[in-house]
Amino acid sequence: MGKVFRFQKDVDTDQIIASQYLLFPTIDEMKVHTFESLNSDFASQVKPGDFVVADENFGCGSSREQAPSVLKALGVKAVIAKSFARIFYRNSINIGMPVIVSKELYDAVEDGDDMELDLQAGIITANGKEYSCTKLPSKMQEILDQGGLIASLNN
């Protein structure tokens, strides 16, 4: 069980983590600034196991991998959106953070709602209802299953 942090459409990676923090030495130093421009309390309020839920085209803009990395470092369990921009989507899978397409969830939940995700079954439960998620392409599921792309280099 985790809480929903809900965001609108076209959230770009500058909003997830702004440019002025990208050259900080580590992701841990950056993560306290996550979503600073949209919800300045996000980094202090989000708890491991919580979820980011968004409208269309989440993660558009810059290729900065710091965007999914700060979300993962804060313990976000998954990002569920109506659709994703492609570089953010690919980066998330590469670092082992689930990104899930659901056309229904955004309109069915509010900020602060509780929800559950069964990643293996592809089922989201929120407000007493179940929602199925779109499956990852098999190539990407394989990368996610092994814990990210780098894991394959160390095998």
Residues near other proteins (CB under 8 A) are 10, 12, 14-15, 18-20, 22-27, 36-38, 56-57, 60-66, 68-69, 83, 85-87, 90-91, 94-95, 137, 139, 148-150, 152-154
Task: Give the helix ranges, DSSP H, for the chain.
Answer: 13-16, 27-30, 42-45, 66-73, 86-94, 105-108, 138-145, 149-153
Nearest approach in angstroms of CB 102 to other proteins is 16
Nearest approach in angstroms of CB 130 to other proteins is 27
Nearest approach in angstroms of CB 116 to other proteins is 28
> Which phi and psi (to 5°) does residue 151 adopt?
-55, -35
Nearer to other proteins, 3 or 9 (CB): 9
CB count in 10 Å sphere of residue 87: 18
| Euclidean distance between CA atoms 111 and 137, whole angstroms | 29
Nearer to other proteins, 108 or 149 (CB): 149
CB 37 within 8 Å of CB 150: no
Complete DSSP assignment for 113-139: -EEEEETTTTEEEETTEEEE-PPPPHH
Q: Give the position of tokens 């899978």.
A: 93
Nearer to other proteins, 20 or 127 (CB): 20
Nearest approach in angstroms of CB 11 to other proteins is 10
Q: How far apart are the first and last CA of the chain?
A: 33
Nearer to other proteins, 121 or 151 (CB): 151
Nearest approach in angstroms of CB 140 to other proteins is 9
Nearer to other proteins, 2 or 98 (CB): 98
